[in-house]
Amino acid sequence: MIVALALLLVAVVNAQLPQPCQTPPQWQGKFIRRDESKNFTQYADISYDLVNRRVREVEYVEEGTDRDYEDVLYLHNINKEYRINLKLKNCTVSALTRPFIHFGLPPDAKYMGTANIGPVNFPDEHATVILFEGEDKQEGTFYYGEVTTPDCVPVNTGFFTNRTGYVHTSFFDITGGIPDPSVFIPPTGCTPK
Amino acid sequence: MIVALALLLVAVVNAQLPQPCQTPPQWQGKFIRRDESKNFTQYADISYDLVNRRVREVEYVEEGTDRDYEDVLYLHNINKEYRINLKLKNCTVSALTRPFIHFGLPPDAKYMGTANIGPVNFPDEHATVILFEGEDKQEGTFYYGEVTTPDCVPVNTGFFTNRTGYVHTSFFDITGGIPDPSVFIPPTGCTPK
């Protein structure tokens, strides 16, 4: 009886542990991505629409002394990618060059803890985040994720491989939903790549 | 007249820029400090009391393969420092070994921007932070600070010197005030250092 109760308790506690989660299906916001090993920094505005499988990223990239500005629309619903080079002021259209990237955490990610950013007893000045870690042994990748709870909006994510070192991404100014749907209108005058 | 209006406008805009701020005078919380160059990680519980000039830090430090556990009480009001080595289980008392460390930002820190952590349109799931940067040219130190607004509670701070590389500190689970004042009671049985 005691063993059964103990097992039940373990089951209940496990059931209460936060589970790996998926971010809201639609949101717009910004991120900064940094890869120390390559002296690579990317600032981007992102619009993410899992419902219609569309992503738009307006990016400013610094890699060493190179500077690049690109505005890319990934339309997975029609297998097309529009890419405007904002420096060269040209636009190309092609088949997609990357798979659809799901946000959120792999189902086997391990819950590491819960923490509060900002003062917990000051209203409107804190957010509760949950931390996950995991390993893709086949790829030799270690990854981590820090997302808000309960809605799983990304705050910090990253991964480590021996080849890349740490690649860290911080998200901010996220708005749930698609406040500006015009971002998904394909640009005109794009030539095939 | 137009020049005067323009100058007035500049003055008004400048007056609206967030200014470097000091954290609340009393708070308790946690931080993680990481110095990549030394493979140094410090996890600490901190209680900060500017009013009575007392700081308590319970620290777990990893430096390479070394592990250290220390519980330190800095009583600046009576110039005494109590240090318990939690591994060796001994306690020493001495004159203070470090100056009082003020939190917040130097008055000449430069405002870099405002950002929201977490989804802005989901209640109770975001915090607004302001970012500052600065340079101590005499010391050759570059520093940055990310604090909540309006109350200036630290979220991320750090500095860079050629000697140390980046030393980054993340704060979490901060509670304003001193919910547990017993942390400032000096331990008994400490021997002079």
Phi, psi of B171 (to 5 degrees): -105, 145
User: Is the predicted pLDDT of residue A12 greater than 70, yes or no?
Assistant: no
Q: Which has more confidence, A1 or A179?
A: A179
Report CB contact under 8 Å: A118, B153.
Answer: yes
Average pLDDT (A65-89) is 95
Report CB contact under 8 Å: B120, A27.
Answer: no
DSSP β-bridge partners for residue A41: A34, A62
Task: Please name the member of B117, B122, B177 whose beta carbon is closest to the beta carbon of A151.
Answer: B122
DSSP three-state, residue B84: strand
Note the pLDDT tens digit of each residue in B93-143.
999 999 998 888 888 999 999 999 999 999 889 999 999 999 988 888 999
Can you point out the beta strands (E) in B53-164?
A: 54-63, 66-75, 80-85, 90-94, 110-117, 127-136, 141-148, 154-161
Residues of B in contact with A27 (CB under 8 A): 119
User: Is the predicted pLDDT of residue B182 greater than 70, yes or no?
Assistant: yes
User: Is the predicted pLDDT of residue A5 greater than 70, yes or no?
Assistant: no
Q: Dihedral (C-alpha) A180, A183, A185, A188: value to the nearest 10 degrees? A: 140
Task: Please name the member of B125, B172, B173 whose beta carbon is closest to the beta carbon of A148.
Answer: B125
User: Is the predicted pLDDT of residue A16 greater than 80, yes or no?
Assistant: no
Which residue shows structure tokens 């050629």?
B162
pLDDT at A6: 52
The DSSP string of B21-56 is ----SEEEEEEEEEEGGGTEEEEEEEEEETTTTEEE
Note the pLDDT tens digit of each residue in A151-184.
999 999 998 888 877 889 999 999 999 999 999 9
Note the pLDDT tens digit of each residue in B32-60.
998 877 889 999 999 999 999 999 999 99
Report CB contact under 8 Å: A176, B126.
Answer: no
**What ranges do the domains of chain A cover?**
22-175
Query: How far off is chain B from A95, nearest CA to CA, in Å?
Result: 32
Task: Please name the member of B116, B117, B176 whose beta carbon is closest to the beta carbon of A122.
Answer: B176
Residues of B in contact with A124 (CB under 8 A): 124, 127
DSSP β-bridge partners for residue B80: B75
Whole-number Å distance between alpha carbons of A93 and B140: 48
Pairing between β-strand B54-63 and β-strand B66-75 as defined by DSSP bridges: antiparallel
User: Is the predicted pLDDT of residue A130 greater than 90, yes or no?
Assistant: yes
Query: How far off is chain A from B26, nearest CA to CA, in Å?
Result: 12
Residues of A in contact with B125 (CB under 8 A): 127-128, 148-151, 153
Average pLDDT (B13-34) is 87
**Looking at this predicted complex, what is its ipTM?**
0.83
- Residue B164's pLDDT band (boundaries 50, 70, 90)? confident
Pairing between β-strand A165-176 and β-strand A26-35 as defined by DSSP bridges: antiparallel
Kindly report which listed range (A110-124, A166-180, B152-166) carries the lowest average pLDDT score. B152-166
Query: How far off is chain B from A7, nearest CA to CA, in Å?
Result: 32
Class of CATH domain A22-175: mainly beta
pLDDT at B16: 73
Q: Is A158 in CB contact (< 8 Å) with chain B?
A: no
Whole-number Å distance between alpha carbons of B116 and A127: 10
- Residue B24's pLDDT band (boundaries 50, 70, 90)? very high
Kindly report which listed range (A7-21, B64-78, B82-96) carries the lowest average pLDDT score. A7-21
Spatial contact of B160 and B142, defined as CB atoms under 8 Å apart: yes
Q: Is A115 in CB contact (< 8 Å) with chain B?
A: yes
Q: Specify the CATH architecture of the domain B22-192.
A: Clam (2.50)
Spatial contact of B61 and B41, defined as CB atoms under 8 Å apart: yes
Tell me, what DSSP letter sits at residue A102? -
Which one of A34-38, B62-66, B175-179 scores highest in mean pLDDT? Answer: B175-179
Q: Is A127 in CB contact (< 8 Å) with chain B?
A: yes
Q: Is B165 in CB contact (< 8 Å) with chain A?
A: no
Pairing between β-strand A191-192 and β-strand A90-94 as defined by DSSP bridges: parallel
Q: Which residue in A103, A117, A173, A180 has the most chain B C-beta atoms within 10 A of its own C-beta, making it the best mutation to test that interface?
A: A117
Kindly report which listed range (A186-190, B8-12, B95-99, B114-118) carries the lowest average pLDDT score. B8-12
Average pLDDT taken over every residue of chain A: 90
Residues of B in contact with A46 (CB under 8 A): none
